Amino acid sequence: MTNQKILIIDDDPDIVEAMRMPLEANSYNVVTASNGKEGLKMAKEEIPDLIILDVMMETDTEGFHVAYELRDEGPDSEYKDCRNIPILMITAISQQKGMNFSPKKDDTFLPVDDFIEKPVQPKDLLERTAWLLAAKK
Amino acid sequence: MSYSTHTQKKSSREQELIESLSRFINLRWIMVVGICITSISARFVLSISLPLTSILIITFCILLFNSVCIYYQKHVKSYENFANFQISVDWIALVFLVHYTGGIESPVIFYFIFHVIIAAILLSKRECYLQSGFAVLLIVSLSILEYFSIIPHVHIKELFPIPVYDNGLYLLSIIFFSITSLYISAYLATSVNNRLRRREREIVALKDSITDAYNKLEELDREKSEFTYKVTHELRSPLSAIQSLLKSIEEGYAGEISVKAKELIIRSEKRTSFLLTLVNGLLDLIAGRIRKPKEGDIKSVDINTAVKNTLDLMQEKTKAKNLKIKIKSTPTPTYLRIVPDDLDIILTNLIDNSVKYTEQGGTIRVNNLLTDKEIKIEISDTGIGITKDDLNKIFDEFYRSKNAKAVELHGTGLGLPIVKNLIERYGGSIEIQSEIGEGTTVTVSFPIEKQN
């Protein structure tokens, strides 16, 4: 269980820090990326046990595109080795009306395993992390 | 904007001309019938010796002309020329009628006045005077031609036993008075008509400026909402970050902190949490104002199921206060066309208010109704109630009543404005009745005809 590697992809360093603290306190090994492109590169190199992914970065849907890349079923996918890494998506959009998507509605086909809402509650984050890592095994 | 109103104005002027012209053509049918009846009864009832055949031939020509006018009415390029042409033809027909009913002695001569008025309505001042000039020319020519016997005079002996058409003085006076009466009529009719048109132009200009001002205001309001939306949106990220960080510190993930420091962190966290709720509320409120619900997002939702689901989610709260919940559903599923999330927000806010402001052991009733015209959801409670004064302000943004503050110190005062905004997006309405200490009933109604 210990020293499992978690990749956080989020452009807000303060949110990253707020998540890193409780995760590291629970002996997870945390690596971070501050945008989608960097995140994809890190995912390929590091093959983490879990990816925590922010939806809104440079664009409102950048996180979705990253998730689709990682879960690409195609035989030539660059991210073959990442296909089975669980993804926890951070979102603030469920309360935002008028957006063109909402995670609740799209989770049937959105290739992520769970959602967590901003602001991040450390307990909630740790529970979901533990649950996703356990489910993976 | 100014271009479109300009073209609209022009076309409305043209539209008016087209309408007047078709009325003019209809009037001609009546004239045709009138001439036939008058001449036939003059001939056979009054035994006046009219040249009936000639009159009926002229009438038939008018009838033919009118049919042609109707046929070409839709293919005309310049309606003013069309009007000019019709008036001229009418006058020629009229002068023939005058000729066959006694020339300068004929009472039909008075009918020239009518066309002067018609010309004043349909044409410009200048054209009206020109047409009047043409009429005068026709009358004068007829008199002169008959006077010098270049064309024969038709003598109606029952009217004028002794002919007067060859009396030079009579002729001159008739010509003088017909010229003056035609021109005075033209002057009066055009000046009245001009005044009316000017007034109409003023009204159109006024209407345009009001519409312009209204559009500008609306645009401004939209821009303001858009701006507020963006600002509020931008406020969320830093607030989320602050709160996430505070939470981590509070729970000791940044190392041990003193009891006092922890207490202060909890306080700060509560305040940011409230601020975040406020920002989310504002976003809900403004989003409803600047974005119309998308067709694809609107679903048929059974209100009975929606009410049950909302109450299920609140079970924890209602049980904690030992509240009795009574739901009266409609006998069959009642479907409302709405974005499901919007209905959730409406119901959650309203039922949450009832739960919040009803004391331990109270009752909350939700009554779903389907009438001929409306789908209604009535939520009543046995809570603290709202004063009459507060009822008037309760839908104002950020307003919170005194007794609400007594129950819960911090509240955004945005719940009801958000709910009202959402309901109105679907053409619905919300009504609140309340008695202090007795309870409150909120009725939400959605019109059925807007549901399709």
Hey, is the C-beta of B241 within 8 angstroms of any chain A C-beta? yes
| pLDDT value of position B205 | 93
Average pLDDT for residues B438-448, to the nearest whole number? 94
| pLDDT value of position B11 | 64
For residue B333, being part of any structural domain is answered with: yes
Q: Are residues B155 and B278 in the same domain?
A: no
Q: Are residues B242 and B346 in the same domain?
A: no
Q: Are residues B135 and B79 in the same domain?
A: yes
Hey, is the C-beta of A30 within 8 angstroms of any chain B C-beta? no
| Number of separate domains in chain B | 3
Q: Kindly report the average pLDDT of chain B as a whole number.
A: 87
Query: Which residue of chain A is at minimal alpha-carbon distance from B290?
Result: A98
Hey, is the C-beta of A101 within 8 angstroms of any chain B C-beta? no
User: For residue B22, how many other CB atoms are within 10 A of its CB?
Assistant: 13
Among A19, A92, A98, the residue with its CB nearest the CB of B236 is A92
Helices B125-147 & B168-250 angle (0-180, nearest 10) = 160
Hey, is the C-beta of A117 within 8 angstroms of any chain B C-beta? no
pLDDT band, residue A41 (cuts 50/70/90): very high
Tokens of A33: 């990326």
Please list every residue in chain B whose beta carbon sits closer than 8 Å to the beta carbon of residue A92.
Answer: 236-237, 240
Query: Which residue of chain A is at minimal alpha-carbon distance from B293?
Result: A98
Hey, is the C-beta of B274 within 8 angstroms of any chain A C-beta? no
Q: How close A135 comes to chain B (CA, Å)?
A: 25
Interface test with A, best of B226, B229, B232, B240 (most A CBs within 10 A): B240
| pLDDT value of position B10 | 52
ipTM associated with this complex: 0.80
Q: How close A124 comes to chain B (CA, Å)?
A: 11
| pLDDT value of position B153 | 86
Write the pLDDT tens digit of every residue in B374-402: 999 999 999 999 999 999 899 988 888 88
Which residues span the domain enclosing B263? 225-290
* HEC letters along B67-120: HHHHHHHHHCCCHHHHHHHHHHHHHHHHHHHHHHCCHHHCHHHHHHHHHHHHHH
Q: Are residues B314 and B244 in the same domain?
A: no
Average pLDDT for residues A33-51, to the nearest whole number? 93
Q: Are residues B304 and B254 in the same domain?
A: no
Distance separating alpha carbons of residues B114 and B241, to the nearest angstrom: 84
Query: Contact B244/A15, CB-based, under 8 Å?
Result: yes
- The topology under which CATH files domain A5-136 is Rossmann fold (3.40.50)
| Cα distance from N-terminal residue to C-terminal residue, chain B | 33
User: For residue A20, how many other CB atoms are within 10 A of its CB?
Assistant: 19
Tokens of B263: 């207490």
Q: Are residues B47 and B180 in the same domain?
A: yes
| Cα distance from N-terminal residue to C-terminal residue, chain A | 10
Of B5-14, B180-189, B208-217, the poorest mean pLDDT is in: B5-14
| pLDDT value of position B428 | 93
Q: What is the CATH number of the domain that holds B352?
A: 3.30.565.10
Hey, is the C-beta of B234 within 8 angstroms of any chain A C-beta? no
For residue B119, being part of any structural domain is answered with: yes
| pLDDT value of position B278 | 87
For residue B8, being part of any structural domain is answered with: yes
Write the pLDDT tens digit of every residue in B172-207: 888 899 889 999 999 999 999 889 889 988 999 999
Q: Is residue B350 helix, strand or coil?
A: helix
Hey, is the C-beta of A92 within 8 angstroms of any chain B C-beta? yes
Portion 276-305 of B in contact with A at CB < 8 A: 276, 280, 283-284, 287-288, 290-291
Assess whether pLDDT exceeds 50 at residue A102: no
Assess whether pLDDT exceeds 80 at residue B8: no
Average pLDDT for residues B46-60, to the nearest whole number? 89
Q: Are residues B63 and B207 in the same domain?
A: yes
Q: Are residues B58 and B205 in the same domain?
A: yes
Average pLDDT for residues B305-319, to the nearest whole number? 92
Query: Contact A14/B244, CB-based, under 8 Å?
Result: yes
pLDDT band, residue A110 (cuts 50/70/90): low
Average pLDDT for residues A49-73, to the nearest whole number? 85
Q: Are residues B166 and B192 in the same domain?
A: yes
| pLDDT value of position A106 | 46
pLDDT band, residue B108 (cuts 50/70/90): confident
Q: How close B75 comes to chain A (CA, Å)?
A: 50
Please list every residue in chain A whose beta carbon sits closer than 8 Å to the beta carbon of residue B273.
Answer: 119
Distance separating alpha carbons of residues A49 and A35, to the nearest angstrom: 19
For residue B219, being part of any structural domain is answered with: no
Average pLDDT for residues B403-425, to the nearest whole number? 86
Q: Are residues B70 and B158 in the same domain?
A: yes
**Sequence spans of domains, chain A:** 5-136
Interface test with A, best of B230, B244, B250 (most A CBs within 10 A): B244
Percentage of chain B exceeding pLDDT 70: 96
Average pLDDT for residues B293-301, to the nearest whole number? 84
Dihedral in degrees, nearest 10, Cα atoms B340, B342, B345, B351: -70
- Among residues B290, B322, B339, the one where a domain terminates is B290
Distance separating alpha carbons of residues A25 and A123, to the nearest angstrom: 12
Helices B168-250 & B2-44 angle (0-180, nearest 10) = 150
Q: Are residues B301 and B269 in the same domain?
A: no
Cα torsion B219, B225, B228, B234: sign: negative
Query: Contact A12/B287, CB-based, under 8 Å?
Result: no
Residue written as tokens 């600047």? B290
CB within 8 A of B273, min separation 6: which ones? A119, B243
Dihedral in degrees, nearest 10, Cα atoms A53, A56, A59, A62: 20
Q: Buried b vs exposed e over A85-106: b needs ≥16 C-beta within 10 Å?
A: bbbbbbbbbebbbbbeebbeee
Q: Are residues B326 and B272 in the same domain?
A: no
Contact B56, B38 (CB under 8 A): no
Distance separating alpha carbons of residues B297 and A43, to the nearest angstrom: 35
Query: Contact B284/A22, CB-based, under 8 Å?
Result: no
Counting other chains too, the contacts that B210-215 makes at CB distance below 8 Å and 24 or more residues apart are B211/B5, B212/B1, B215/B1
Hey, is the C-beta of B245 within 8 angstroms of any chain A C-beta? yes
Of A47-56, B57-66, B77-86, B415-424, the poorest mean pLDDT is in: B77-86
Average pLDDT for residues A53-58, to the nearest whole number? 83
- Cα→Cα distances A3→A15, A49, A50, A135, Å: 21, 10, 12, 17
CA geometry: angle A89, A94, A96, nearest 5 deg: 130
Q: Which of A17, A18, A20 is closest to A29 using CA atoms? A: A20
